[in-house]
Structures are given as structure tokens and as C-alpha cells.
Amino acid sequence: MMGYIKYYIKPFCFAILIFLLIFGLFKYSMTPNGYKIQSWNVVSDLENAIGRNNLGSEFYKVTKKPATIIISSSVDAGHLLSLKEGSTKYLYLPQIDNSYFAVYIDGKQIGTLGFKDKRTGHFWYQPVIFELPESFSNIRLEISGIYEIGIDFGAYIIDSSQLPKYNVLLFLTNSLLHITIGLALTIAIILYAISKNLVPEKKRAYLYLGLGSFLGSIWMFDLVGFPSLGSQTTFLLFRKIFLSSAYFGLSAFITGFSNIYFERKTNSDKIFALLTFVTALALTFPTTSYVFKNFTNVASLVLSLTAIYILLRSFKIYSNILFGFITFFATCVVYDAVVVMFSFNLKLMSNYGIAAIFAGFAYSVVFEYKEMFVKVTLTHMKSITDELTGAYNRGVLPEITTSKNDTFVYIDLDNLKDINDIYGHDVGDEVLKLLVENIKSHLRSTDLIIRMGGDEFLVILKDCTKDKANEIFERLSLTFMTNHPLHPTFSYGILTFEKSFSETLKNVDMLMYKMKESKKIENLNDNEE
């Protein structure tokens, strides 16, 4: 047990630190050094959505039907003395819940979000900023919502020195979101492509994982700001599709996980997969936005319990790095569930958890296929390598590409049969290995040596002239002969690449035999003398 704890404690702690870092960045970017508007007066609330005349700096309300409110606040010039003198001022809202939003300064409109005549979009995740005039006394906001209205983290008047905080928050909630959506879709495609070449059991698992990634990307579209989604009915339909995709995707994740990464399958895997699947189905049924919104609290609890279960089940998976990704995912989901269920005024972070899962899968796929590639490469190298000498064998010939600048050298060891007969095959093998070692010591990494059979070898010198090749092998023949007590020799032919590989090989082989025959004639003449 202690061994498992030691193995997983580092990625666990690292995941928690990353979570705290992101949380800290949110905290930093949503609390700028500026003037925070402390209260709002309700100017108009025809649908009685808020039910109060005075609001604090932050508020949030789930409405039973689409509603629009108008709120205002007076700003005393003395309140802005803390801002940098002469600097441009901005109205900064880290997060608002709305489908349409308009800002009025002293009765003049300075900016909007969404369409005024079609208030069926959503901007409840995006930070917003508006440039303010040099002097003003009143800020009025018009906020419309389908089933929720609010200023979650207050409204600030800031100067240009605080813009980096806005940019950090914009990056965290916008750019990273788009990157994650792209990553999720890419992983889904990769997993689908990989599954085609796997055995049936693994194929199903990878298809489930790919489906989970695809559905996860659909869920994250819920966080993208849309100016309009058609009618209110269409808007609610899209929201149901986005949210239910998260649970359908998680159900697919669990199924895929249990088939690949868990050491043994249990009925609990099926139960939690079914639970999230049923939750996804239930999310599609409620008819009113109010009921739908409140039902998501129950769904958040299911998501939290499922994330904890995945974390506990992942305690004994083969990769502690993947465990770190899962830990971060579970931490983000549980955190968000607590925030939603208890209505804490905190930023949600589940999308980062989902991104971690995608990154974990990407790592797992790369890791698994790296190992597979190494195994395939080793097997392939073994199949094209001569076991005795370490040179390539004839199996490599179809893979060789040559050019007119390459030079072929065909080599035949002289009198190998006599060496084997007199001294034994072990000595003959030693001479063959020595020959290859000597040749390799004179070659570049781009050159090739291939054992064609028995005592015959082909050397291909890339981008090498015939004269240079002659120089190399004249020197090599001398060093080879002196490196062994028997003073072995070899014959060779040298030829620059001709019309084709086969023709060059045929002609260079003939040149080698010419040298071999000339040596025999010389030996006969020497013996006669």
C-alpha cells in the first residue's frame, strides 16, 4: 500500500498545485485595484425578476421566465481618486449572467453585448470591459436573461494599469477554451482512426474514448459566448444538448477507461456509467428553463460523485502521470459541484478538468504508441539485420533509395572455405565479424553495409565518388589484413550508380569477380615460380 502512495503522491500533489495556481490566477484577475461599485438601484423590473429595489455590488438570480432589469449607480468623482490620474478609465465586469447587456453613461449608451431585438444568446462566462468617458456621474446597466440574471463578481472602474488582469481572465476563459475544444476534437479523430487497426475489445474501448472526447467538446460550447441562438425554445434546446453531452461523454469515458486502464472490470463501472447516462437523458426532459436550471444542481452532485469514483478507481493504473491528470479533473469537478450546489460566488473550473482529461488521453495514446512503435521498430530492425555480423541482410534491399551520386562496393572474403575447413567455423565467423567491424569504422552514418549471403557484402557509399571509394577500400584492405593473425584478405569491385539498382549490382559483382580471378592467377604464377 505504501508503495502505491509513494508512486502516486507526486502527481497528486502536482495536480493540486496546478489547480491552486489556476484558482489564484482567477482570484488575481477578478479583483483589480480600482473602484468597486458598492450598490445598485433597480430602475426597472417589469417581470419582478429581482423583487428588490436595492442591490449590493454582486447579485445573482434564477428567474422563472425571461426577464429584463435596468439598474443604476451614482459615481462620485472623489471615489475615483485612487485611479491613475490622466489614464483612460474602464468599466470592468469579470462575469455577468445575461443574454443582452447594455451600458449607459449619464444616459448615453457606450456599449452592448448581444442583440437588443433578439435576447436569446448567452454571455455568462465571458469577462467584459467598456471604455468610459473622462468624466461622468451615473452608470446605468440594462441586463436581460433567459433564466438567470446577475453580476457575479461585481463591477469595477479601473485604469489602464489594470488591463493585464482583464487580459489574463480573457485568456483563461476564452483562448484556453477554444484550444481545449480543438484538442478534444483532434483527440476524438485520432482515437477513431487508431481504433480501426485494433482488436475488437480495444477497438470498442478506443471508440468509447473518442466518443467521450467528441461529446466533451460539444459540452464546452456551452461556455462560448453567443450573441443569439434563435428563439428562446432553440436556446434552451442547445443548452440541453451542451449540458447533456457532458454526461453522455463521461459515461463513454468510464466505459472506455474500464476496458483499457483499469486492472479489472467491476459492476461499479457499469453502474456509474449508467448513472451518468441516465442523468444525461434526464437533462433533456425538463420543459421550463427554471426547472432545468434547478435540476442541474442534482446533476452536479452526480458528476461530482462520478469524478471521485474515477479518481479512486484510477489509483492502480499503470501510469502515475495519467493519474495526475485524473486527479486534476476530479478536483475541478468536485470544486464546481460544491460551488453550484451551495451558490458560492466563485469561478467554475470544470472545463480545465475536462481539458486535463483530454491531455491525459493524448499523453496515454502517445505513450502507448511510442512503446508500440519502439517494439515494431525493434522487430523490423531484427528482421533486416544479420544476426552474426550486425550488418543489414537482404531484407533491407526494397527499402533502399539510391541516386546517381552513390557508389557501390561489392566485397567477397577470400578463402573463407579454407579458413572454416582448417581452423573451424568459429574462426571463420570471427573473420566475418572483423571484416564488418573494419568496414563500419570507415563508413559514415549515411552509408550502408549489407550481407548478401555467405561471405559476400554490399557497401553503398552515399554521395561518394569512385576515386574516394577506391582510396577508402585500399586503406581498408591493409588494416583488415593486419588486424587478424591469419592475415585474411578480400576482393572487391567498385562502381558508381548506373541506370538501375539491379543493373549496378550485377555489374559491380562482375568487377569483384574480376579482382578475385586476377588474384587466383597471381597466386598460380607465384606458385609456379
Mean pLDDT, to the nearest integer, of 172-194? Answer: 87
Domain count of the fold of the chain:
3
Out of 184-198, 295-309, 424-438, least confident range: 295-309
Cα 16 to Cα 303, 329, 393: the distances in Å are 19, 10, 53
- Please list the alpha-helical segments (H only) found in 118-198: 163-170, 176-195
| 8 A C-beta contact, residue 146 and residue 226 | no
Q: pLDDT digit string (tens) for 476-487?
A: 888 888 878 888
pLDDT at 521: 75
Are 106 and 178 members of one domain? no
Q: What is the Cα gyration radius of the chain? A: 37
Q: How far out from the chain centre does Cα 22 lie?
A: 19
Are 471 and 506 members of one domain? yes
Q: Does residue 387 form part of some domain?
A: no
Q: pLDDT digit string (tens) for 277-290?
A: 888 787 777 655 55
pLDDT at 163: 94
pLDDT at 100: 94
Give 287 or 148, the one with higher predicted confidence: 148
Mean pLDDT, to the nearest integer, of 244-265? Answer: 78
Q: Which domain holds residue 360?
A: 166-378
Are 133 and 199 members of one domain? no
Mean pLDDT, to the nearest integer, of 89-112? Answer: 95
Among 333, 353, 378, the domain boundary falls at 378
Q: Please, what is the average pLDDT of the chain?
A: 86
pLDDT at 378: 76
Mean pLDDT, to the nearest integer, of 142-164? Answer: 92
Across 159-173, 239-253, 379-393, 396-410, the highest mean pLDDT is recorded for 159-173
Are 369 and 398 members of one domain? no
Report the CATH number at residue 120: 2.60.120.260
One-letter amino acid for residue 102 of the chain: A
Mean pLDDT, to the nearest integer, of 468-494? Answer: 87
Q: Does residue 18 form part of some domain?
A: no
Are 194 and 300 members of one domain? yes
Are 235 and 147 members of one domain? no
pLDDT at 232: 82
pLDDT at 529 over 60: no
Mean pLDDT, to the nearest integer, of 440-468? Answer: 90
Q: Which residue has the cell 483532434?
A: 186
Among 331, 350, 378, the domain boundary falls at 378
Are 201 and 332 members of one domain? yes
- Give the number of other CB atoms < 10 A from CB of residue 126: 19
Are 342 and 466 members of one domain? no
Give 308 or 81, the one with higher predicted confidence: 308
Q: Does residue 219 form part of some domain?
A: yes
CA–CA–CA angle 248, 298, 170 (5° rounding): 70
Interatomic CA distance for residues 66 and 508, integer angstroms: 88
Out of 6-10, 117-121, 523-527, least confident range: 523-527
Strands 89-93 and 156-159: antiparallel
pLDDT at 261: 64
Report the CATH number at residue 523: 3.30.70.270
Are 212 and 241 members of one domain? yes
pLDDT at 3: 57
Are 196 and 285 members of one domain? yes
Give 89 or 243, the one with higher predicted confidence: 89
pLDDT at 483: 78
Are 95 and 220 members of one domain? no
pLDDT at 38 over 90: yes
Provide the pLDDT confidence category of residue 127 given band limits of 50, 70 and 90.
very high
Are 433 and 361 members of one domain? no
pLDDT at 68: 95
pLDDT at 81: 78
SS3 for 321-360, per residue?
Answer: HHHHHHHHHHHHHHHHHHHHHCCCCCCCCHHHHHHHHHHH
Provide the pLDDT confidence category of residue 319 given band limits of 50, 70 and 90.
confident
Among 108, 131, 161, the domain boundary falls at 161
pLDDT at 42: 96
